[in-house]
């Protein structure tokens, strides 16, 4: 099974690039943000619990998100592997993921990190706020999400740098969408020439 993490700060283009990557490499796209938003929209118990946390731009508790992911890892829907978008987001989540995978003889093969300057991230998220009105796309919450990323999520990169199984590709994501897709494709193909 091919296990790929799509990593990067809020607004770096994870969701935008995920469909392209998932399709090209036959991966099941799993977005924890999308899953949690769907729960909140449906008004489930889980959704009601996480909605205020997400609206404030904070992370939902590790144990909750690990349970959500665990139920998805066992079912890749006939695909060749899985593309994790928005998970893991803390070192504790990464350690839990590694342990889950180790139990079934798997590991994270590749981490793709989208690198975009902070002023561009804010600009993009404010642009999306005007178009889509997502609850966490306002200036105050965006700043908190960026701070949370630097404090809690960025260290996940070092966690995987220290893991000999996992290749890391840092992609300059500050370019038109199709150019970024091309850079990702070139990077992934370097690792999996037979994958496309
Ligand atoms: P999540 O949904 O994962 O949000 P995020 O990480 O903040 O990411 P975004 O969706 O904002 O950005 P993106 O990188 O996907 O960029 P996008 O492609 O959309 O998480 C939301 C919340 O859920 C969290 O804050 C937390 O509360 C909770 N949560 C989720 N996972 C969790 C976890 N594991 N643990 C704990 N809590 C968790 O692009 C953004 C905009 O930019 C779009 O308008 C797009 O059109 C535009 N754009 C994209 N690429 C380009 C480009 N190249 N040029 C110009 N514009 C571009």
Test site for ligand 1: of 6, 7, 8, 10, most ligand atoms within 8 A of the Cβ: 10
Q: How confident is the model at residue 11 (pLDDT cuts 50, 70, 90)?
A: very high
Q: Is the pTM of this model over 0.85?
A: yes
Q: Is 38 in the pocket of ligand 1 (CB under 6 A)?
A: no
* Average pLDDT for the chain: 95
Ligand 1, atom 43, lies closest to the CA of: 128
110, pLDDT greater than 70: yes
| Contact criterion met (CB below 8 Å) for 88 and 5 | yes
Ligand 1, atom 2, lies closest to the CA of: 33
Q: Which of 98, 124, 122, 123 is nearest to 111 (CA)?
A: 98
Distance CA 95, CA 151 (A): 17
Distance 64 CA to ligand 1 centre (A): 19
Domain ranges of the chain: 2-191
| Contact criterion met (CB below 8 Å) for 109 and 158 | no
What percent of the chain has pLDDT above 90? 89
Residue 55 CB neighbours (<10 A): 14
| Contact criterion met (CB below 8 Å) for 73 and 82 | yes
Q: Which residues contact 51 (CB under 8 A, 6 or more apart)?
A: 40, 135
Q: Is 57 in the pocket of ligand 1 (CB under 6 A)?
A: yes
Question: CA torsion 160→162→167→173, rounded to 10°?
Answer: 50
Active site residues: 14, 89, 128, 134, 145
Q: What is the mean pLDDT of residues 77-104?
A: 96
Q: What is the mean pLDDT of residues 142-151?
A: 98
pLDDT digits (tens, 9 = 90+) for 90-102: 999 999 999 999 9
CATH class for the region spanning 2-191? alpha beta
């Amino acid at each position: 099974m091919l296990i790929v993490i799509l990593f990067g700060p809020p607004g770096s283009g994870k969701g935008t690039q995920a469909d392209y990557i998932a399709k090209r490499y036959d991966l099941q796209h799993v977005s924890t943000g999308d899953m949690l938003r769907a729960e909140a929209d449906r008004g489930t118990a889980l959704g009601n619990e996480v909605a205020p946390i997400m609206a404030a731009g904070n992370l939902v508790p590790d144990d909750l998100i690990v349970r959500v992911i665990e139920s998805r890892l066992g079912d890749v829907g006939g695909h060749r592997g899985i593309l994790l978008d928005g998970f893991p987001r803390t070192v504790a989540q990464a350690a839990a993921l590694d342990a889950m995978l180790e139990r079934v003889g798997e590991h994270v093969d590749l981490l793709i990190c989208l690198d975009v300057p902070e002023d561009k991230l804010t600009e993009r998220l404010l642009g999306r706020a005007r178009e889509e009105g997502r609850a966490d796309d306002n200036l105050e919450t965006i700043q908190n999400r960026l701070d949370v990323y630097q404090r809690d999520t960025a260290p996940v990169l070092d966690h995987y740098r220290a893991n000999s199984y996992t290749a890391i590709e840092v992609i300059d994501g500050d370019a038109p969408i199709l150019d970024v897709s091309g850079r990702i494709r070139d990077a992934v193909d370097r690792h999996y020439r037979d994958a496309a």
